[in-house]
Structure 1
Amino acid sequence: MITHIVLFKLKDRSSRSAGEARDVLLGMRGKIPQLRYLEVGVDILHSGRSFDIALITKFDSLEELQAYQAHPVHVEVAKYMTSVRKFAVAVDYESG
C-alpha cells in the first residue's frame, strides 16, 4: 500500500477558508476508483509551525497513485488547491 500525505498552508488562514478547502478535498470521496482511503484534517493548534490542512490518502500501488493524480476529479481539486494555497509539502511512502 502507498500512503500519500500533503500538508497545505493557505493564503487565507481563516476557519471559513480552511473549511471550504476541506470540503473540496473531501469531495473526491467515492469519485476516484483508485482512492482507497481519504482523510482531511484542519489544524486546531495554529502554532507558528502548523500547516492549515492535512490530506491523507492511500492506494494499492504506486501505479494507482499515479492514476489518481491524473484522474479528472483530482486534477480539478488540485487546480483549486493551487489557487488557495500559499505552500504545500508532500510525502509518499510504502505502508502496511
Structure 2
Amino acid sequence: MITHIVLFKLKDNSAESVETTAQVLRNMEGKIDELKSITVGLDVLHSERSYDIGLITTFESLDALAAYQVHPVHQKVIVHMTQVREASVSIDFES
C-alpha cells in the first residue's frame, strides 16, 4: 500500500475558498479506480506554520499512484490547484 499526503496553502484562505477547494479534492472519490481511499481535512489551528488543506490518499502500488497522477479527473484537479495554491508539500510512503 502507498500513502500519498499533500498539504496545500492557498492564496485565498477564506473559509469559502478553502471549502470550495476541499470539495474539488473530495470530488475525485469514486471517479479514479486506482484511488483506494481519500481523506480531505481542513486546518483548525490556523497557526503561522499551518497549511489550509490536507489530502491523504492511498493506492495499492506505485504503479497505481502513477496512473492516478495522469488520470484525466486528477489532471483537472491539478489545473484548479495550480490556480489557487500558494504552496504545497507532499510525501509518498509505503504503509
Alignment RMSD (CA, Å) = 0.3
TM-score (norm 2): 0.99
**In structure 1, what is the Cα distance between the partners aligned to 2:25 and 2:5?**
13
**In structure 1, what is the Cα distance between the partners aligned to 2:52 and 2:78?**
16
Match of 2:78 in 1: 78
Q: 1:55, CA displacement in angstroms?
A: 0.3
Match of 1:38 in 2: 38
Match of 1:6 in 2: 6
Post-superposition CA distance 1:33-61 (Å, at most 9, x none): 00000000010110001000000000000
Q: 1:67, CA displacement in angstroms?
A: 0.1
Match of 1:29 in 2: 29
Q: 1:20, CA displacement in angstroms?
A: 0.2
1:92 aligns with 2:92: yes
Structure 2: gaps (5+ residues)? none
**In structure 1, what is the Cα distance between the partners aligned to 2:8 and 2:68?**
19
| Amino acid in structure 2 at the alignment position of 1:30 | G
**In structure 2, what is the Cα distance between the partners aligned to 1:15 and 1:45?**
13
Q: 1:18, CA displacement in angstroms?
A: 0.4
Equivalenced residue count is 95
**In structure 2, what is the Cα distance between the partners aligned to 1:5 and 1:43?**
14
| Amino acid in structure 1 at the alignment position of 2:47 | S
Match of 1:61 in 2: 61
Structure 1: gaps (5+ residues)? none
